């Protein structure tokens, strides 16, 4: 379970070492990208814990979800409708659901271990 | 455990991306915060900026068009002004405009002397020839505008005997004859008073001839019709 945390730290360090900063007008897209990545990470962990992880589904899910969210944001921008809210809500719900499942899984495991 | 490690690897990969994005976004937000703009307002502001940019572009084009128009108008005004000045000058030269300036006023009147026996009474009258000579002398002395009894001398003017009176510009005039001339006062005066000149000759016959110098002689414009039936502007001289 340590690997994702290490990966996160590595990513943060890489970004800190480079003078990376996104253009302000893209900040909305980056935000939705972060949500998509978060959703992907928790979804991946959940799948992994449940033993249903498939790398093809995982990678394609990450790419397609990010692309869809970006396109939605872009179209919403053009139409003057905050479609980005839809993507945000969808990702947030999935994240909560996945975290809930992970939590239950871990608790289950832990309690079983301690009850034994 | 091995299978678990495989999925962790992929998740870790996405986590690296997530970390990079997070830091970048935090930095961007910090930058936005530093410029004292609430991020919510940013969209509105950028939209306003875009709009005013587009507006500015349109206005710039308008400025260009207007500037062109102004320069055209100024050019046109200049041309119109030039034409106006040229026209006024031409009218003056042609004798259509009344003019004023220093000059002389020559008054000629018939002689009061009675014709003696054997003398023709005609000799004691002012003739067309006398006036013609005076006018001629005045022009020769550099007169710029001459009128006889209010008839301006123009290109088509005649001075001709017409029975008991004299016809100038096809208008009959009688004595006393008042000839207005604008030009160098001294030149005009001395031309008239030349020894054995026109005035001497006239006075010899007892004709009353008076020359009056004036700083402001008024010469009226030609009031008759101008009708050129045969003369047409020659091409080479007709540009203006």
What's the complex ipTM? Answer: 0.81
**For residue B1, is pLDDT > 60?**
no
Provide the pLDDT for residue B128: 85
| Consecutive H or E run containing B102 | strand B99-109
Contact A33, B38 (CB under 8 A): no
Mean pLDDT of A80-98: 88
Least confident span in A56-65, B39-48, B133-142: B39-48
Mean pLDDT of A1-30: 83
Q: Would the CB atoms of B12 and A45 count as touching at under 8 Å?
A: no
**For residue B191, is pLDDT > 50?**
yes
Task: Tell me the average pLDDT of chain B.
Answer: 83
More confident of the two residues B215 and B29: B215
**For residue B125, is pLDDT > 50?**
yes
Q: Would the CB atoms of A27 and B12 count as touching at under 8 Å?
A: no
Residue A22 has a CB neighbour count (10 Å cut-off) of 18
- Percent of chain B residues topping a pLDDT of 70: 92
Q: d(Cα B100, Cα B225) in Å, to the nearest integer?
A: 22
Contact B174, B124 (CB under 8 A): no
Q: Is B24 on the interface with A (CB under 8 A)?
A: yes
Mean pLDDT of B58-75: 89
DSSP, collapsed to helix, strand or coil, labels residue B175 as coil
Q: d(Cα A8, Cα B13) in Å, to the nearest integer?
A: 8
Task: Tell me the average pLDDT of chain A.
Answer: 86
Provide the pLDDT for residue B39: 62
Q: Would the CB atoms of A24 and B24 count as touching at under 8 Å?
A: no
Mean pLDDT of A2-22: 85
Task: Please give the CATH topology (third level) of the domain spanning B99-219.
Answer: Alpha-Beta Plaits (3.30.70)
| Residues contacting A20, CB < 8 A, separation 6+ | B20, B23, B24, B27
Provide the pLDDT for residue B131: 87
Residue B166 DSSP symbol: E
Provide the pLDDT for residue B239: 52
CB pairs under 8 A between A and B: 122
In angstroms, what separates the C-alpha of B52 from chain A's closest C-alpha?
A: 17
Report chain B residues whose CB lies below 8 A from the CB of A31: 25
**For residue B81, is pLDDT > 60?**
yes
More confident of the two residues B52 and B115: B52
To 10 degrees, the CA torsion angle through B189, B193, B199, B205?
150
Report chain A residues whose CB lies below 8 A from the CB of B46: 24-25
Which sequence spans correspond to the domains of chain B? Answer: 2-36, 99-219
Least confident span in B31-45, B101-115, B170-184: B31-45
Q: Could you tell me the pLDDT band of residue A100, with boundaries at 50, 70 and 90?
A: very high
Q: d(Cα B9, Cα B17) in Å, to the nearest integer?
A: 13
**For residue B3, is pLDDT > 50?**
no
- B211-228 confidence digits (pLDDT tens): 888 888 898 888 877 777
């Amino acid at each position: 379970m340590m690997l994702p945390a290490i990966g996160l730290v590595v990513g943060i360090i890489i970004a800190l070492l480079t003078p990376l900063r996104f253009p302000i007008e893209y900040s909305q897209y980056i935000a939705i990208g972060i949500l998509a990545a978060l959703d992907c990470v928790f979804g991946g962990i959940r799948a992994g814990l449940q033993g249903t992880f498939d790398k093809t589904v995982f990678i394609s899910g990450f790419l397609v979800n990010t692309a869809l969210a970006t396109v939605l944001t872009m179209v919403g921008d053009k139409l003057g409708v905050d479609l980005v809210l839809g993507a945000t809500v969808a990702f947030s719900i999935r994240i909560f659901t996945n975290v809930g499942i992970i939590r239950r899984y871990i608790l289950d495991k832990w309690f079983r271990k301690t009850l034994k | 455990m091995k299978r678990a490690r495989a999925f962790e690897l992929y998740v870790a990969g996405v986590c690296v991306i997530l970390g990079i994005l997070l830091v970048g976004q935090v930095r961007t937000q910090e930058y936005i915060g530093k410029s004292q703009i609430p991020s919510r307002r940013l969209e509105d502001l950028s939209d306003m900026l875009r709009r005013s940019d587009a507006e500015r572009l349109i206005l710039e084009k308008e400025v260009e068009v207007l500037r062109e128009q102004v320069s055209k108008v100024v050019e046109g005004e200049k041309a119109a002004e030039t034409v106006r000045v040229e026209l006024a000058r031409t009218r003056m030269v042609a004798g259509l405009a009344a003019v004023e300036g220093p000059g002389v006023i020559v008054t000629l009147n018939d002689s009061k002397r009675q014709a003696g026996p054997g003398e023709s009474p005609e000799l004691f009258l002012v003739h067309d020839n006398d006036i013609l000579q005076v006018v001629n002398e005045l022009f020769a002395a550099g007169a710029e505008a001459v009128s006889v009894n209010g008839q301006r001398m123009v290109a088509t003017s005649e001075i001709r005997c017409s029975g008991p009176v004299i016809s100038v510009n096809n208008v009959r005039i009688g004595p006393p004859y008042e000839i207005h001339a604008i030009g160098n006062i001294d030149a005009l005066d001395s031309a008239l008073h030349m020894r054995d000149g026109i005035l001497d000759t006239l006075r010899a016959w007892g004709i009353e001839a008076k020359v009056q110098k004036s700083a402001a002689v008024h010469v009226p414009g030609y009031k008759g019709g101008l009708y050129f039936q045969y003369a047409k502007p020659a091409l080479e001289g007709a540009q203006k």
